[in-house]
Amino acid sequence: MSVENLKKELEATLLITNWSPTEDDLNEIARRIKALGGSASKADIERIVYDAVGSYECMMMEGIDNTDLTTLLILATKTTK
């Protein structure tokens, strides 16, 4: 799986509207998501992305929906070597 697919899924899941991650940033994000195993929350993913790339712009919505986290975990697992 390519890091570009991971980037698009992160943007969709976290509602990111403006950011500029490098390929190294995305690989680091994938590595850290993979290290969480199957127990990642949306807040965990947000923290990982923030730690890797710094601040980014996103839309805020009421409540938290974790349904897309499984896809992110699969993409992160397939992205890392």
Q: pLDDT digit string (tens) for 2-39?
A: 899 999 999 998 999 999 999 999 999 999 999 988 78
pTM over cut 0.75: no
Q: pLDDT digit string (tens) for 31-44?
A: 999 998 878 888 99
Q: What is the residue type of 19? A: W
- d(C-alpha 58, C-alpha 8), whole Å: 13
Q: Is the dihedral of CA 45, 48, 49, 55 positive or negative?
A: positive
Q: What is the distance of C-alpha 34 from the center of its chain?
A: 11
